[in-house]
Chain A
């Protein structure tokens, strides 16, 4: 490809050392996160990260089909990452590609350790990730939304997972690579992490980084991950807080109609007056 010849000619920084889109080396692209975008899914979320536009839907825990894939002591997590034919510059062929299969697996492995799958033996939890528009770092953005969608579905988890890529382009370490920086650059390192719990669940490296550079990258990315993590937490609470504010609820919780809680067992439905069969 003659693209490779032009790699050296691509200018990734301006005179002030800012990136093509005006970001500093450790700055995130603008992003937007939303929950409950799909009414018929058990949980859903939508993210716009740079030019990425990604929807995630979660169904389950539900009955697993085909039955023979059931695992006796925990739920099966199935992640499907799909790109729309219209999500990239040149029409993507609609058949699931090698890349989509790989990313599905990678995202599944990034989410799995944070879920309490053992709570739902033999069941299935399905996560569908649909990329409407693709930019650099779509697997990281997908991990971020998928995690929020899972929380929105009420699936118990150890913590939210946040993904951001880091890499090297034009000789500099950069946080949150854009599509061009990823294609032209020397290295791309997608990272996903359960920020609140300080655990990494995804670390890939495409290209070459020295040991020191990798260590430096992990440091650089922390601020970016924290920012997205805060947003994830915020959007999950937002809707409920809004309803509370609408009602103008007082701070003092009244106990008069508190009928919930696992230790204040509620007798089942009151069926006294129902006609019997």
Chain B
């Protein structure tokens, strides 16, 4: 068993990562005892598991993910939502409204969500055979009212959230903004306009520097600097 990459190495598709009895995680594949990268990303080794954290790519829906999407169509029994993945997501009346509302929903679904509305939703089911299903019943889910929407590369979302939410909670507390990060790379920010601007700049920096280390501290410094500039 030999590893041919150092942790944190930038790898490209087809690059040989290791030889021998390794388990291969995301962003890798195995052929005849050799592990190769399948995407551009950062190689990581944990025990005998090798995986590559992708740096580019579209969002792939996973159950229990929180996503932010846009209503694109109203159907007989619900809504079609664009979650910027390869598949449109279904939001059914059953998964969107309370039981009491659902019984009288057939009159006009636009009363709840209209085409063009932005919703925060959770993915209920997603598998290879059908389009993902969403729900907006739950704490913090539902229509976005006001605020600002920005898009980032979905592969960098984990970095924006940080370990146990460290990055995002730092942003929220420093800037006193409401920030919701969808796993599909759509971010909703609501707060003081000046702070929102700083938040967007910070998120852009995190997106750009996602593959570097020591990011939380660097971003915090920048924010504190910008905040004190504003006060002056």
Contacts and interface: CB of A to CB of B under 8 A. Distances in A.
B180 A237 contact: no
Interface string A145-180: 000000111111111100000000000000000000
B3 interface: no
A264 B26 CA distance: 12
A276 B145 CA distance: 10
Interface in A248-277: 249-250, 253-254, 256-264, 266-277
B90 interface: no
A259 B140 contact: no
Identify the interface centre among A158, A262, A274: most chain B CB within 10 Å of its CB.
Answer: A274
Contacts of A272: 139-140
Contacts of A249: 212-214
Nearest to A234: B12
A62 B85 CA distance: 7
A61 B157 CA distance: 19
A269 B143 CA distance: 15
Given A43-B56, A160-B12, A194-B14, A243 B209 contact: yes
Contact of B12 (A233, A260, A266): A233
Interface of B: 7-8, 10, 12-16, 25-27, 29, 36, 38-40, 44, 46, 49, 51, 53-58, 64-66, 86-88, 112, 120, 122, 128-129, 136, 139-143, 145, 155, 157-159, 161-169, 172, 178-183, 208-209, 211-218
A196 interface: yes
Given A270-B180, A271-B66, 12 more contacts: A61-B58, A116-B38, A154-B58, A157-B14, A243-B208, A256-B217, A257-B213, A258-B163, A268-B183, A270-B168, A270-B179, A270-B181
Given A154-B56, A233-B15, A272-B140, A62 B25 contact: no
- Nearest first, the 9 A-B pairs at minimum CB distance are A154-B57, A159-B14, A277-B142, A271-B140, A154-B56, A268-B66, A123-B86, A61-B86, A274-B140
Given A122-B87, A269-B181, A275 B145 contact: yes
A144 B54 CA distance: 21
Contacts of A157: 13-14, 38-39
B25 A262 contact: yes
Contact of A121 (B128, B162, B166, B178): B128
B83 to A, nearest CB: 11
B169 A160 contact: no
Contacts of B49: 263
Contacts of A256: 163, 214, 216-217
Contacts of B165: 266-267, 270
Contact of A254 (B143, B168, B183, B213): B213
Interface of A: 42-43, 60-63, 73, 75, 114, 116, 120-123, 151-160, 194, 196-197, 232-233, 236-237, 240-241, 243-244, 247, 249-250, 253-254, 256-264, 266-277
16 contacts: A63-B88, A151-B39, A154-B55, A155-B39, A156-B13, A159-B14, A243-B211, A247-B209, A253-B213, A259-B158, A263-B46, A266-B157, A267-B161, A268-B122, A269-B161, A271-B140
Contacts of B129: 121
Contacts of B157: 266
Contacts of A151: 12-13, 39-40
A114 B31 CA distance: 13
Given A156-B39, A243-B208, A257 B13 contact: no
A271 B141 contact: yes
A247 B165 CA distance: 23
Given A154-B55, A257-B214, A261-B51, A196 B14 contact: yes
A243 B10 contact: no
A79 B159 CA distance: 33
